Amino acid sequence: MPKQTDSLQGTLDLLILKTLEGRPNHGFGITLHIQTVSDGMLRVEEGSLYPALRRLERENVIQGEWKTTEKGRRARYYALTRRGRARLAEVERRWSVLTRSVAKVLGGV
């Protein structure tokens, strides 16, 4: 059975990978996307986001590259790798199983 921290880390990984599925993005853009799409319900703090991005980059799930933002600032943009796309598919599958199971418990089925 995974520890709660593993589940929480896995959830953050899922949110990051799903955000990067559409296009490369920088850290603030990832945070903003997650917050906007979740109608403000989900907030990813810098203290969680950047260590996760570094870990995912070490695992070759994402690849970072320094670029200039549309506002002329230097930022590290992250993109999914082939391994990252495979990881996203697996994490989405596990998330789907988990949410169906929780829905069954909540629904009393």
Question: Given this model, what pLDDT does residue 79 score?
Answer: 98
Question: Given this model, what pLDDT does residue 7 score?
Answer: 52
Helix (H) or strand (E) holding 70, with range, is: none
User: Are the C-beta atoms of residues 15 and 31 closer than 8 Å to each other?
Assistant: no
Measured distance CA(53)–CA(64) in Å, rounded: 9
pTM of the model: 0.86
User: Are the C-beta atoms of residues 5 and 19 closer than 8 Å to each other?
Assistant: no
Please report, for the domain that includes residue 74, its CATH number: 1.10.10.10
Task: Classify residue 39 as exposed, middle or buried by CB count within 10 Å of its CB (0-12, 13-18, 19+).
Answer: exposed
Measured distance CA(72)–CA(80) in Å, rounded: 23
Which residue range is the domain that position 91 belongs to? 4-107
The closest alpha carbon to 15, from 66, 64, 49, 58, belongs to 49
Count of structural domains within the chain: 1
| pLDDT averaged over 10-residue windows placed end to end, the chain, 109 residues | 50 96 96 96 95 97 95 96 97 92 86
